[in-house]
Amino acid sequence: MNMHGMDEKTIRSILNDLKSKDTPYERVLSSMCTYPHPVAVAAHQQFIETNLGDPGLFAGTAEIEHEVMRMMGTLFGNPDAHGYITTGGTESNIQAIHAIKTARKIREPNIIVPASAHFSFDKVADILGIEVQKADLDPEFRADISSVEDLIDENTIGIVGIAGTTEFGQIDPIRELSDLALSKNIFLHVDAAFGGFVIPFLREKYEFDFTLPGVTSIAADPHKMGFATIPTGGLLFQDSSYLNRLSVDTPYLTVNSQQTLSGTRSGASAASAYAVFTYLGREGYERIVQRCMELTHELVARARESGIEPLIDPVTNVLVLDVPDADSVRSKLKKRGWDVSITRDPRALRLVIMPHLSRENLNLFADDFADVVKWTSAT
Ligand code: 0PR
């Protein structure tokens, strides 16, 4: 740190220089985050100093968090769902499994996740000392129910289904997983970190939430398709008994116990989610999600003009294209200013069609894509 303070103008100019090295989202097709909604940004700024870790001091902000949880619970079929605002999908997944582990006191517990699970479950394994078994996928990249069932043994405490997989945007058969969880008397956590703010707003209806009786917890991130500011994740449990098991005593705070992973937590996240939920309403989200789906389908049509097929018909706004030599296509697109991503297995080109992408930019992208594919297959 410098000994003497620096003037604000110089600091701002240094920060501007550094910010200019960041990639603006307009040409990014690899991210599940986007520009937060302006009403979310304004609310975030208004609550910048608030700390939900000491809710007695910030009673109004705590009310906002309850209201956000009620709105999310209602969206996911259970207004009485109980949870809190996390820093994102990783923390939600860790805490969901933490609660399950605490509920089932088994010496060497395991959980079963589909092979498509986000890498946060590798952190779950490490941090919680739980064996994380990976079930096979069906040809459409959904969890294969018989593989999940085969892996269940007497040490299995829970299973995980993904509603909107990171790589394929696919939705696991959550009803079947729910039936399985009920019949084996184990927990079912649904990772809807991405899909939570997509699936309820699609024209096609999918069962993935608390309306299914076996679903015990859901992770859904307002900071992805919910347009809240980063970091805003959401974790909800079927009822308060789950989270209460994680209580630790906090005698010197304004409340006597805490169930969250972090101590100090930003109330700005809660305010930003509250503002954007109420501003857009279901109708606003439907409009945005359906536009993303329209653009996704347009991109499929453009790829087909170059003889390239998607690996699955896109279910959400994630498009995976079966291009030969995906790594090389990715780096060539990068040279033309586009950030795209790849899948692990099989190796394919992964595009996330977020709301920051305009039709005009996607047409430019499709032109570059056609060109790159032509030259890649020619060499
Ligand atoms: N669960 C699922 C299904 C996810 O897709 C993700 C993140 C998580 C959990 C973890 O969420 P947090 O990152 O909020 O802890 N999916 C993206 C990924 O890791 C996140 C992402 C966002 C990546 C923006 C890149 C990026 O630019 O691939």
CA angle 205/224/36 to nearest 5° reads 120
**3-state class of 238 per DSSP?**
coil
Is residue 1 in some structural domain?
no
| Residue 90 in contact with ligand 1 by CB distance below 6 A | yes
**The domain spanning residue 343 has which CATH number?**
3.90.1150.10
Interatomic CA distance for residues 332 and 26, integer angstroms: 18
14 and 62 both lie in a single domain: no
Of all protein residues, whose CA lies closest to atom 10 belonging to ligand 1? 89
Of all protein residues, whose CA lies closest to atom 17 belonging to ligand 1? 32
For residue 307, how far is its CA from the centre of ligand 1 (angstroms)?
30
| Residue 31 in contact with ligand 1 by CB distance below 6 A | yes
270 and 314 both lie in a single domain: no
Of all protein residues, whose CA lies closest to atom 14 belonging to ligand 1? 88
CA angle 344/206/84 to nearest 5° reads 80
68 and 195 both lie in a single domain: yes
Nearest atom, ligand 1, residue 162 CA: 3
27 and 55 both lie in a single domain: no
Nearest atom, ligand 1, residue 233 CA: 14
Residue 310's DSSP bridge partners are 321
For residue 306, how far is its CA from the centre of ligand 1 (angstroms)?
30
Instruction: State the residue range of the domain holding 336.
Output: 8-35+285-378
Contact in structure between 142 and 172 (CB atoms under 8 Å): yes
Cβ neighbours of residue 353 closer than 8 Å, sequence gap 6 or more: 29, 292, 295, 296, 299, 317, 318, 319, 362
**3-state class of 81 per DSSP?**
coil
Nearest atom, ligand 1, residue 93 CA: 9
Nearest atom, ligand 1, residue 117 CA: 3
For residue 99, how far is its CA from the centre of ligand 1 (angstroms)?
21
How many structural domains is the chain composed of? Answer: 2
What's residue 379's pLDDT? Answer: 66
Interatomic CA distance for residues 81 and 252, integer angstroms: 28
**DSSP 8-class letter at 229:** P
Of all protein residues, whose CA lies closest to atom 28 belonging to ligand 1? 166
Nearest atom, ligand 1, residue 91 CA: 15
| Residue 343 in contact with ligand 1 by CB distance below 6 A | no
| Residue 199 in contact with ligand 1 by CB distance below 6 A | no
| Joined tokens for residue 104 | 């089932």
25 and 57 both lie in a single domain: no
| Residue 152 in contact with ligand 1 by CB distance below 6 A | no
For residue 288, how far is its CA from the centre of ligand 1 (angstroms)?
20
For residue 2, how far is its CA from the centre of ligand 1 (angstroms)?
35
Residue 1 amino acid letter: M
188 and 46 both lie in a single domain: yes
291 and 151 both lie in a single domain: no
Q: Which of 166, 171, 191, 199 to mutate to test the pocket of ligand 1 (most atoms within 8 A of CB)?
A: 166
Nearest atom, ligand 1, residue 30 CA: 27
Q: Which of 90, 118, 124, 344 to mutate to test the pocket of ligand 1 (most atoms within 8 A of CB)?
A: 118
Residue 307's DSSP bridge partners are none
Is residue 181 in some structural domain?
yes
Q: Which of 242, 262, 278 is the last residue of a domain?
A: 278
Is residue 122 in some structural domain?
yes
Of all protein residues, whose CA lies closest to atom 18 belonging to ligand 1? 166
DSSP string, 140-196: TSSB-HHHHHHH--TTEEEEEEEBS-TTT--B--HHHHHHHHHHHT-EEEEE-TTGG
45 and 26 both lie in a single domain: no
Is residue 266 in some structural domain?
yes
Phi (first) and psi of residue 137, to 5 degrees: -110, 155
pLDDT by 10-residue block (mean), the chain, 379 residues? 97 98 97 98 98 96 98 98 98 98 94 98 97 98 98 98 98 98 98 98 98 98 98 96 92 90 97 98 98 98 97 98 97 98 96 98 98 84
For residue 89, how far is its CA from the centre of ligand 1 (angstroms)?
7
289 and 267 both lie in a single domain: no
70 and 166 both lie in a single domain: yes
| Residue 226 in contact with ligand 1 by CB distance below 6 A | no
**The domain spanning residue 214 has which CATH number?**
3.40.640.10
